[in-house]
């Protein structure tokens, strides 16, 4: 039994936060943000729009586009570092309930920006082992809930959104995932961290006074490591599988910073047409960034049935992952 990437869906909130809006909030400029990150705007969820709400909307689309009913889903995995509730219940349980999926295993994973590709690897293992047939995987973030909008070094980067995919069993090897690499190095844990709330820093007045509940990032160090790791990772997975970069029609990197995407794309000698870029309009949506980008190329008709995708991601943990697989759903 093989696993195939059966369908894609995504949801973005309607509220746009532009660079011009940010100029009014912190000491920054549209010119600086564009030049250093390639981001023009990002989407922000409304106050009563939770991670599970965005995830549910993306999931409904993915299930429908796979030609399935919610009752066909036998596992739900939600990748998020901005769950509805820290600790419990898992956002995957809330999404299952909102979708009407009953009596099915559901859990979250916290691998930051690498979450969706990590979830892909979990779905692949469950399907290939014969334990599950149709796995719903989700990358969803309300990142605005952990961003300090007085900190210009982070608030310009992140946005909200969700993406979802159905990974199904198939006996057709042509449709199957080719390979996934996923890895982590906890010695860099302090590069990207939300110090509270957690068992190290339970919620307290000190946490609130010092803003320890907001994301902190060593931007420059993360940037350098991201370029190095992402480049090595894609070169490794291509070499291992005997596939040339020029034969990849859709390179979908994590959307953190256009300079990182360009550096990795250039090192692979990829053309503009091969590299998928959505960071300009959505910012960095962490675990949602890759499925949102895949959804963009599917909805625009660029991604067709059977075409190869190379996914590559890097994030808090530190974690990183890459995947090589055909899109096995129907073309739009
Ligand atoms: N506007 C204007 N100036 C700014 C801003 C801003 N928004 N932010 C920082 N600056 C200033 C700094 O204070 C600094 O000033 P100084 O030279 O006087 O000290 C100067 O600009 C340069 O700052 P750097 O941090 O060196 O800028 P850099 O070019 O590295 O860009 C950025 C910063 C955009 C954050 C970049 O480092 C980056 O993208 N890092 C990687 C992010 C990433 O990949 N994260 C991983 C995934 S995220 C996840 O897992 C959730």
CA of 9 to the centre of ligand 1 (A): 31
Query: Are residues 161 and 210 part of one domain?
Result: no
Q: Does residue 145 form part of some domain?
A: yes
Rounded Cα distance between 26 and 116, Å, is 31
Respond yes or no on whether the N-terminal peptide bond of residue 235 is cis (omega within 30° of 0). Answer: no
Domain interval for residue 259? 179-326
Q: Does residue 257 form part of some domain?
A: yes
Rounded Cα distance between 123 and 92, Å, is 14
Distances (CA, A) of 76 to 26, 114, 268, 310: 39, 17, 34, 23
**Total structural domains within the chain:** 2
DSSP-derived letter for residue 271 is: -
The verdict on the CB of residue 289 being under 6 Å from ligand 1 is no
The pLDDT score that the predictor gives to residue 122 is 98
Q: Does residue 92 form part of some domain?
A: yes
CATH number, domain of 258, equals: 3.40.47.10
Query: Are residues 221 and 90 part of one domain?
Result: no
Query: Are residues 127 and 216 part of one domain?
Result: no
The pLDDT score that the predictor gives to residue 124 is 98
The verdict on the CB of residue 23 being under 6 Å from ligand 1 is no
Rounded Cα distance between 280 and 255, Å, is 9
**Ligand 1 atom at minimal distance to the Cα of residue 215:** 51
Rounded Cα distance between 304 and 198, Å, is 43
Query: Are residues 163 and 246 part of one domain?
Result: no
The pLDDT score that the predictor gives to residue 294 is 98
**Ligand 1 atom at minimal distance to the Cα of residue 154:** 35
The pLDDT score that the predictor gives to residue 127 is 98
Residue nearest to atom 41 of ligand 1 (CA): 223
Residues acting as catalytic residues: 113, 254, 284
CA of 231 to the centre of ligand 1 (A): 20
Going by C-alpha positions, the residue among 10, 133, 123, 117 that lies closest to residue 68 is 133
**Ligand 1 atom at minimal distance to the Cα of residue 22:** 7
* Residue where a domain terminates, one of 123, 144, 173: 173
Residue nearest to atom 30 of ligand 1 (CA): 220
Residue nearest to atom 13 of ligand 1 (CA): 153
Distances (CA, A) of 171 to 23, 42, 65, 126, 200: 54, 40, 20, 15, 47
Sheet containing strand 319-326, edge to edge, reads 179-184, 319-326, 308-315, 250-253
Query: Are residues 196 and 157 part of one domain?
Result: no
**How far, rounded to the nearest angstrom, does the alpha carbon of residue 107 sit from its chain's CA centroid?**
16
Rounded Cα distance between 13 and 202, Å, is 31
The pLDDT score that the predictor gives to residue 39 is 98
Q: Does residue 332 form part of some domain?
A: no
Query: Are residues 200 and 313 part of one domain?
Result: yes
The pLDDT score that the predictor gives to residue 300 is 97
* Residue where a domain terminates, one of 173, 205, 226: 173
In sequence order, which ranges of the chain are alpha helices (DSSP H)?
19-23, 30-37, 51-65, 91-99, 115-128, 152-155, 205-210, 219-240, 258-267, 279-282, 289-299
The verdict on the CB of residue 275 being under 6 Å from ligand 1 is no
Going by C-alpha positions, the residue among 112, 123, 121 that lies closest to residue 186 is 112
CA of 153 to the centre of ligand 1 (A): 5
Backbone phi, psi, residue 220, to 5° = -65, -45
* Residue where a domain terminates, one of 121, 151, 173: 173
Per-residue confidence of the chain (332 residues) as pLDDT tens digits?
999 999 999 999 999 999 999 999 999 999 999 999 999 999 999 999 999 999 999 999 999 999 999 999 999 999 999 999 998 999 999 999 999 999 999 999 999 999 999 999 999 999 999 999 999 999 999 999 999 999 999 999 999 999 999 999 999 999 999 999 999 999 999 999 999 999 999 999 999 999 999 999 999 999 999 999 999 999 999 999 999 999 999 999 999 999 999 999 999 999 999 999 999 999 999 999 999 999 999 999 999 999 999 999 999 999 999 999 999 999 99
The verdict on the CB of residue 315 being under 6 Å from ligand 1 is yes
Q: Per the confidence metrics, is the pTM higher than 0.95?
A: yes
The verdict on the CB of residue 220 being under 6 Å from ligand 1 is yes
Query: Are residues 136 and 193 part of one domain?
Result: no
């Amino acid at each position: 039994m093989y696993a195939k990437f059966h369908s894609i869906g995504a949801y973005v909130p309607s509220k746009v936060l532009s660079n011009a809006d940010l100029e009014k909030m912190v000491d920054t400029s549209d010119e600086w943000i564009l030049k250093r990150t390639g981001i023009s705007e990002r989407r922000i969820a409304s106050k009563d729009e939770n991670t599970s709400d965005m995830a549910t909307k993306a999931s409904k689309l993915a299930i429908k586009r796979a030609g399935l009913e919610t009752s066909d889903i036998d596992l739900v995995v939600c990748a998020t570092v901005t769950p509805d509730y820290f600790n419990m219940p898992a956002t995957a349980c809330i999404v299952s309930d909102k979708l009407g999926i009953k009596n099915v295993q559901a859990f979250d994973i916290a691998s930051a920006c690498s979450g969706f590709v990590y979830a892909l690897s979990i779905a692949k293992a469950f399907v290939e082992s014969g334990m599950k047939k149709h796995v719903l995987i989700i990358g969803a973030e309300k990142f605005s809930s952990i961003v300090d909008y007085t900190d210009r070094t982070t608030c310009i980067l992140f946005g909200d959104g969700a993406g979802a995919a159905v990974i199904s069993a198939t006996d057709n090897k042509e449709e199957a995932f080719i390979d996934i690499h996923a890895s982590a190095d906890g010695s860099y844990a302090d590069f990207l961290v939300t110090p509270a709330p957690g068992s190290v820093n339970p919620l307290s007045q000190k946490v609130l006074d010092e803003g320890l509940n907001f994301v902190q990032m060593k931007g420059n160090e993360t940037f350098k490591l991201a370029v190095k790791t992402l480049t090595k990772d894609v070169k490794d997975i291509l070499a291992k599988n005997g596939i040339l970069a020029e034969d990849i029609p859709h390179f979908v990197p994590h959307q953190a910073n256009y300079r990182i995407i360009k550096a990795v794309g250039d090192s692979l000698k990829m053309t503009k047409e091969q590299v998928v870029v959505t960071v300009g309009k959505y910012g960095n949506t962490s675990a949602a960034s890759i499925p949102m980008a895949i959804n963009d190329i599917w909805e625009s008709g660029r991604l067709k049935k059977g075409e190869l995708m190379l996914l590559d991601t890097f994030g808090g943990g530190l974690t990183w992952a890459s995947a090589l697989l055909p899109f096995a759903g129907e073309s739009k």
